[in-house]
Structure 1
Amino acid sequence: MTPQPAAHDLSLAALWPVSGLRATADVATPGGTGGVRTLELRYLDDDLVVELARLASRGVHSPDAMPFDVPWTRGTPLEVARSVLAYQWGARSRLSPERWALELGVVVDGVPVGIQALQSDEFLVTGSIETGSWLGLEHQGTGVGTAMRLLALHLAFDGLDARAATTSAWEDNPASNAVTRKVGYERDGARTEVREGTAVEKLRYRLRRGTWEARPAHQQLDVTFHGLDGTRGFLGIG
């Protein structure tokens, strides 16, 4: 009898390992019961993307501000929600070891509150990860913005072995700049760019691995990772 070849594992976890990626920690924030909330960064499946699209449609910033390079938050609630879906579905398909963007839903005590992204070009060569995020307007001012950035940095440095993390923000976005400085990034230059037809200064920041490893005790989270080995393998990190 001729031996049969082993069946291939065609489960979602095997086909798309990043689908199982999660990073979870209990964090102290002013908005939680007793000051402690369960924070999770989770791969964006369709159900979570739709929930976050609805959240974005209710507002991400005041109408007179624009914190993003691309003004995707302009438009009707329907247009804003659709822009979230379109972008996330596109980003999902463009993952490879050479160029990737891990777009992760931010979930606090089971409630979706925003998106935290980690992206890199030629990570296996540069070891550098760029972070970016947005938080629903109704969840801002609760300490979640700082906590989700810290959790993302744990994933970048402790989970994916990054050597540096970078980020940027417009100079007139004090909340984002404050969070960036608070978690240990250092200024790394600036340049004038065009935003909605106006010249605005964009500030650059860098956080090196040595600085991250020497961070103060209150920034050291007890993080649980799920799906990390599969994600590392998928991105060629070994």
Structure 2
Amino acid sequence: MDAWPLRKLVLRTPRLELRPDDDSGLFELVDVALAGVHDPAEMPFTVPWTDWLPGDHGFGMVQFYWAQRAKIAPKDWTINFIARFEGKAIGVQSFSGHDFGVLREVRTGSWLGQKFQGAGLGTEMRMGVLEFAFDHLDARVARSEAWVGNRASNRVSAKLGYVPDGTITAAPRGEPLEQVRLRLDRANFVRPQWNVSVEGLAECVQLITN
């Protein structure tokens, strides 16, 4: 057994490499985030962490990822995959499970540096972890969320086969916004014309699937 088996896990798509977060990668991501993630007039996240970046220079962001990494346990885990394009960190694809061994459900979320948006890389990130979940971990359902007004995210979700599954209301900047819950059943996943390459799963599969 490895003291930290997730360090060997890697997913590869045609253009991207996704590995669980590590410290050097997090510091790269701070620079990506400081360069811009979204239009400042909008807030795509339930927790408005990008509003805090200029004031703390990424301190809170790094603490958040450290905390999530420290809490990983067989029945409750979040893996934050750092996505790399041409060897450079460009964003995060998060991947969570709670009582996965019983429920066989995962939840995804992501962000991508603004200068890397519009080229299909965000879609490729999500396709990679969805294929990993359904084909390598035997997940039954994947869940996600997006604001009603986030047309780009909702278009991607619809293209991949997600369907609406209710709504919730949140106020990341003090005003109520409606968020759509999304559900994707394995049978409805609109698969890419490629297969994700997975390495290092044998070393950590018990941590993820118990």
TM-score range, shorter chain: over 0.9
Matched residues in 2 for 1:231 and 1:84: separation?
25
Within the candidate set 178, 181, 191, 2:168 is matched to: 191
After superposition, residues 1-238 of structure 1 pair within 5 angstroms as 14-26=2-14, 38-77=15-54, 79-212=56-189, 215=190, 219-237=192-210
The alpha-carbon deviation at position 142 of structure 1 amounts to 1.2
Task: Identify if the C-alpha distance between structure 1 residues 116 and 187 changes in structure 2 by more than 3 Å, giving closer, same or farther.
Answer: same
Q: Which sits farther off after the overlay, 160-169 or 79-88? A: 79-88
Q: Secondary structure at the match of 1:74?
A: helix
Q: Which runs of 5+ in 1 are unaligned?
A: 1-8, 27-37
Aligned residue type for 1:181: A
Q: 2: distance between equivalents of 1:90 and 1:44? A: 12
- Of structures 1 and 2, the one scoring higher in RCO (CA 8 A, sep 6+) is 2
Residues 165 and 208 of structure 1 are in contact (CA less than 8 Å); yes or no, is this contact kept in structure 2?
Answer: yes
Return closer, same or farther for 1:75/1:103 CA change in 2, 3 Å cut-off: same
**Cα RMSD after superposing both structures:** 1.5
Larger-gyration structure (1/2): 1
In structure 2, distance between residues paired with 1:130 and 1:97: 15
Match of residue 31 from structure 1: none
Q: In 2, Cα distance between the equivalents of 1:192 and 1:173?
A: 14
Is the 8 Å Cα contact of residues 58 and 77 (structure 1) preserved in structure 2? Answer: no
- TM-score, normalising length from structure 2? 0.94
Q: Deviations over 1:156-215 (max 9, x none)?
A: 111221110000011121111111111111111112333321111110110001112xx3
**Percent of pairs identical after alignment?**
37
Whether the aligned pair in 1 keeps the contact of 2:19 and 2:82 (CA below 8 Å) is yes
Between the aligned partners of 1:139 and 1:99, the Cα distance in structure 2 is 31
Alpha-carbon deviation of 1:236?
Answer: 4.1
Q: Is the 8 A contact 2:100 2:209 kept in 1?
A: no
Deviation (angstroms), 1:131 = 0.3
TM-score under structure 1 length normalisation: 0.84
- Cα distance between partner residues in 2 of 1:140 and 1:79: 25
The answer on whether the counterparts of 1:164 and 1:206 sit within 8 Å (CA) in structure 2 is yes
